Amino acid sequence: MEKKLSSISENMRRNFTANVSHELKTPITSISGYAEMMMTGLARSEDLPLLAEKIYTEAQRLIALIDDIINLSRLDEGAVEAPAERVELLSAARRCAERLMDKAASCGVSAEVLGGEETVTGYAQLIDEMITNLCDNAIKYNRPGGHVRVTVGSRGGAPSLCVEDDGIGIAPEHLDRVFERFYRVDKSRSKETGGTGLGLSIVKHAAAWHHASLEAESVPDKGTRITIIFDGKGGE
């Protein structure tokens, strides 16, 4: 049994390495190609601002990807060492929503935070990352005129936080896999919105670190709801 688990772990590590290599190579190849056009004089002078913008966009995508890989690796290795602290979920949700207001406005999406204050014991930075990633996804996979709602409450006496949207939704065959690393339901939309394919995986691992449970519900063309329940029942 132990040998089998070790083999599965090794395969997962190998697949992750292969995926990371591919994901890193894509923006680097784009940056190199645009830079070569500028360096060799193949680009017209009037095209230089556009090429510079493309290089900047790909560089930002690369930075975001590296940040997510580092965060996920820390969670994987149990390298997150932080003293337990009292975290107020409603206040954390408001902070995260406030940071994303400009992005939401640029996408034509509105957002609101509802509920009462619930306190959990955990790591504030990880909780912020969970909420931010969920809200960011709800904005990116929405549509103009869409809405994102963050609700803080309790479930069975346990503090909970729910992020829901009325966006494009997720088909049933994809719903169980959205927390996998680099799994994308719509690859072209993910690239267009600058997604790394790791955001929900970070949510999953950060929830496990807090022994919290995750629930995901979605209806295509209706929207998605993801709930974190700090019930002490989660974990890997």
Nearest of 16, 28, 150 to residue 72 by alpha carbon? 16
234 touches 205 (CB < 8 A): no
Give the count of beta carbons closer than 10 Å to the beta carbon of residue 117: 10
Q: State the pLDDT at residue 181.
A: 75
Four-way CATH pick for 2-76: 1.10.287.130, 1.10.10.10, 3.40.50.1370, 3.30.1360.200: 1.10.287.130
Query: Positive or negative, the Cα torsion across 72, 198, 225, 147?
Result: positive
pLDDT-derived band of residue 194, with 50, 70 and 90 as boundaries? low
d(CA 185, CA 206): 22
Instruction: Select the more confidently predicted residue: 77 or 219.
Output: 219
Query: What is the three-class DSSP state of 122?
Result: strand
Q: State the pLDDT at residue 191.
A: 53
Q: State the pLDDT at residue 11.
A: 55
pLDDT-derived band of residue 82, with 50, 70 and 90 as boundaries? low
The dihedral over CA atoms of 202, 208, 212, 215, expressed in degrees to the nearest 10, equals 60
Start-to-end C-alpha separation, the chain: 17
d(CA 54, CA 216): 35
- 2-to-8, 11, 50, 60, 236 alpha-carbon distances in Å: 10, 14, 54, 41, 16
Assign a CATH topology to domain 85-229. Answer: Heat Shock Protein 90 (3.30.565)
- Residue 177 neighbours by CB under 8 Å, 6+ apart: 183
Going by the DSSP 8-state scheme, the letter that residue 180 receives in this structure is: S
Give the count of beta carbons closer than 10 Å to the beta carbon of residue 222: 12
pLDDT-derived band of residue 216, with 50, 70 and 90 as boundaries? very high
The boundaries of every CATH 3.30.565.10 domain in the chain are 85-229
Q: Kindly tell me the number of DSSP H helices and DSSP E strands found in the chain.
A: 8, 7
Q: State the pLDDT at residue 1.
A: 43
The predicted-structure confidence for 114-154, as pLDDT tens digits, reads as follows 999 999 998 888 898 889 989 999 999 999 999 999 999 99
122 touches 130 (CB < 8 A): no
Q: 86 has which bridge partners?
A: 121
The boundaries of every CATH 1.10.287.130 domain in the chain are 2-76
Summary mean pLDDT of the chain? 82
Q: State the pLDDT at residue 7.
A: 47
Q: Which two tokens stand for residue 34?
A: 């645009």
Give residue 205's region: left, alpha or beta (phi > 0; psi -120 to 50): alpha
